[in-house]
Structure formats: structure tokens, C-alpha cells
């Protein structure tokens, strides 16, 4: 039996119904069992009972009760040793409360319909079932991912996020030569909109406010290596904001440009060129700010080297 865990509601889940939130959090658990948990009070919101239709507010603390479905009980044996070893090899930092992982590209943070398990299921299998994600990264994004082992630290990190005391920094390669210096890119984003039969995140007037700071690091003949800081944390925010400026990310099959992606594949790029290079935070219980850095992966470094060679 797993231990109970607490999750603090972030901006992405504001307004979501409690039952839908719990069905996602307990993926694989029968719907009827999830609804019984809510009705019986096993699920708590801010230490009290809540109805299944309760709309979540930012900062709400959700208690997720201990439960394993048959599928979840078998997951630890389904996860092969190669995946477990890959995760172990990419641990950047670990103590009794926190684990910072240099997440490999291509593995989602959560299991789902297309992936039986993700990063968090693998870490739970090799550490303990009560660990949880402090934030998320897209499946194709690599880099710093914070996983917490205590509900107290989780609450503090999420509070720091709301107060702007958490810094997440990325490196990304974009199409074209970025003109000018650093600037903030703003635009309201809405997810789930259909375009060409595919669900996308798109800039719209009635979307959620989003802001991204983008700064050129190195310019090439037809690409620019960027330093990127998301001020807000919307789904696909960096990718959509980059594309909205006419500078889509290299290797982005969803929001990118096919011709540019083909050229980058010719230089050996086989994935999205987006890497979470730094994660830092400052919380009251710690005497000094914590900062963690993940070096650019070798497959991305080689693409940069080849772009430099083509410039000479």
C-alpha cells in the first residue's frame, strides 16, 4: 500500500473539477473507486471534505489517499532494468526530501494511454511510492526535473512558484537569426483547440495570460541558440511563443517548420531542441537558494558544433 501524498494546485489546474483532477492523479484506478474516495472523505481539500464538482483554486492542497490498482501494483515489475538504470544515471542531486533529475528526452513525466509509465512511475518503483512531481516537462524536453519526497517541501516549492521565487531556465535552438536582444514575449494561450484535426495550444484573445523571456546566446546562418525563461507556466508555452515570433523550435513536429526541421535532421538532430538547463528556488526553510544545472545533452551539443562548422 502506498502512502498518502499531498499535491498543491498550480495555475494549469485552476477551475478544474475535483473528480477530473483525481481521475488523472489516480490514473489506472477504477472510476467508481475514485468517486467513493471523494464521497467518503478520503480525498481532502485543504484538510476538509469537498464535493466531486468542487472547482479547484490555485494553492489548494489536495490529499491523495493511498491506493494501488492492480495495474499500478504490477508496474514496478513491468519497468525494465535499463529504464531504471537510465534514471539512476541521470540523478543530479538527492537528499531525504528532494531529487533533481536530468530528465532524458522522449519519456513523459506521467504514464498514460500511449505510455504505460513515465518518469514518476519509474522513480516510484526505484525509490518510494509517495514521491511526486514538483512541476512538469514535456515528453520531448530534457533537463532539470524536481521530484519531492515530502508534502511540506512540495507546498513550499509551489508557494515559491506563486511568489516568483522559482527560476526555470531553458536552452532552445530556433529557426532563423534572432534580431535584437532579449525581450519578453506575451500572448494569451488556450489549449485543446483544433487545427488541421490536431489539438493544439494557440494564441487567442480569450486564453490564459502567458509570458516568456527570450534571449539570444549564439547566432548561426539560419538558426539561433536561445536562453529562455518562462515567467508563467502554460502548456507548450515556450514552443508556441517561439513559433509566434517566427522562430519555431528546431525539431518541433507540432509547432515547427518542416523544411527547417529537415535541415536540422541533416545535422543529426533527432528530437526537439529544448533543454531545461537550470532549476533554482529560494524557500524560507532553507538558509540559501538552491540551484541545479543540467548540461546540454551530447546529441544537442553536437548539433551546435556542426552549426558552428558550417559557419566557418
Q: What are the structural domains of the chain?
A: 1-67 (3.10.290.10), 75-163 (3.30.2350.10), 165-311 (3.30.2350.10)
Active site residues: 138
What was the pLDDT predicted at 69? Answer: 47
For 260-276, what is each residue's pLDDT tens digit? Answer: 999 999 999 999 999 99
Q: Read off φ and ψ for residue 236, nearest 5 degrees.
A: 55, 25
Average pLDDT of span 272-296: 88
Look at 13-22, 101-110, 278-287, 301-310 and tell me which has the smallest mean pLDDT.
Answer: 278-287
- Of residues 33 and 140, the one with the higher pLDDT is 140
Confidence (pLDDT) at 70: 45
Q: For residues 311 and 219, what is the distance between their CA atoms, to the nearest angstrom?
A: 10
| More confident of the two residues 219 and 97 | 219
Q: What is the mean pLDDT of residues 293-298?
A: 96
What's the pLDDT at 283? 83
Span of 170-174, 238-242, 289-293 with lowest mean pLDDT: 289-293
Q: Is 104 helix (H, G, I), strand (E, B) or coil?
A: coil
User: Is pLDDT larger for residue 73 or for residue 8?
Assistant: 8
Please state, rounded to an integer, the average pLDDT across all residues of the chain. 88
pLDDT at 1: 45
Block residue for cell numbers 473528480:
19
Percent of the chain with pLDDT over 70: 91
Other CB atoms closer than 10 Å to residue 226's CB: what's the count?
Answer: 24
Mean pLDDT for the stretch of residues 44-57: 92
Residue 253 has pLDDT above 50, yes or no: yes
Give the residue-averaged pLDDT of 230-246: 94
Lowest mean pLDDT, pick from 100-114, 165-179, 233-247: 100-114
88-123 pLDDT, tens digit per residue, is 999 999 998 899 999 999 999 987 657 778 899 899
Query: Is the pLDDT reported for residue 277 higher than 80?
Result: yes
Q: Which three cell numbers stand for residue 23?
A: 481521475
Closest of 58, 36, 35 to residue 46, by C-alpha: 58
Q: Residue 195 pLDDT more than 80?
A: no
CA distance 217 to 227: 6
Q: How high is the pLDDT of residue 73?
A: 46
**DSSP tag of 15:** T
Q: Which residues pair with 203 in a beta bridge?
A: 189
Q: Whole-prediction pTM value?
A: 0.77
Question: Does 55 have pLDDT greater than 50?
Answer: yes
Amino acid at each position: 500500500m502506498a502512502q498518502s501524498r499531498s499535491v498543491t494546485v498550480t495555475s494549469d489546474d485552476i477551475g478544474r473539477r475535483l473528480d477530473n483532477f483525481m481521475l488523472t492523479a489516480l490514473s489506472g484506478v477504477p472510476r467508481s473507486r475514485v468517486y467513493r474516495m471523494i464521497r467518503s472523505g478520503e480525498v481532502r481539500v485543504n484538510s476538509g471534505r469537498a464535493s466531486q464538482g468542487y472547482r479547484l483554486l490555485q494553492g489548494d492542497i489536495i490529499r491523495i489517499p493511498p491506493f494501488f490498482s492492480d495495474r499500478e501494483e504490477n508496474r514496478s515489475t513491468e519497468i525494465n532494468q535499463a529504464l531504471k538504470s537510465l534514471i539512476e544515471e541521470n540523478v543530479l542531486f538527492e537528499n531525504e526530501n528532494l531529487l533533481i533529475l536530468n530528465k532524458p528526452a522522449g519519456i513523459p513525466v506521467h504514464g498514460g494511454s500511449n505510455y504505460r509509465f513515465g518518469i514518476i512511475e519509474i522513480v516510484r518503483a526505484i525509490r518510494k511510492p509517495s514521491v511526486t512531481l514538483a512541476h512538469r516537462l514535456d515528453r520531448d524536453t530534457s533537463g532539470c526535473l524536481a521530484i519531492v519526497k515530502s508534502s511540506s517541501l512540495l507546498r513550499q516549492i509551489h508557494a515559491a512558484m506563486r511568489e516568483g521565487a522559482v527560476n526555470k531556465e531553458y536552452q532552445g535552438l530556433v529557426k532563423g537569426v534572432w534580431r535584437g536582444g532579449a525581450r519578453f514575449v506575451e500572448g494569451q494561450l488556450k489549449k485543446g483547440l483544433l487545427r488541421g484535426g490536431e489539438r493544439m495550444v494557440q494564441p487567442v484573445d480569450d486564453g490564459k495570460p502567458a509570458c516568456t523571456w527570450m534571449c539570444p546566446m549564439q547566432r548561426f546562418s539560419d538558426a539561433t541558440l536561445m536562453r529562455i525563461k518562462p515567467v508563467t507556466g502554460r502548456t507548450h508555452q515556450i514552443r508556441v511563443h517561439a513559433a509566434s515570433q517566427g522562430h519555431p523550435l528546431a525539431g518541433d513536429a507540432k509547432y515547427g517548420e518542416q523544411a527547417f526541421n529537415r535541415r536540422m535532421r541533416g545535422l543529426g538532430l533527432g528530437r526537439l531542441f529544448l533543454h531545461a538547463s537550470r532549476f533554482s528556488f529560494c524557500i524560507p526553510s532553507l538558509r540559501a537558494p538552491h540551484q541545479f544545472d543540467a548540461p546540454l545533452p551530447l546529441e544537442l551539443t553536437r548539433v551546435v558544433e556542426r552549426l558552428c562548422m558550417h559557419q566557418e
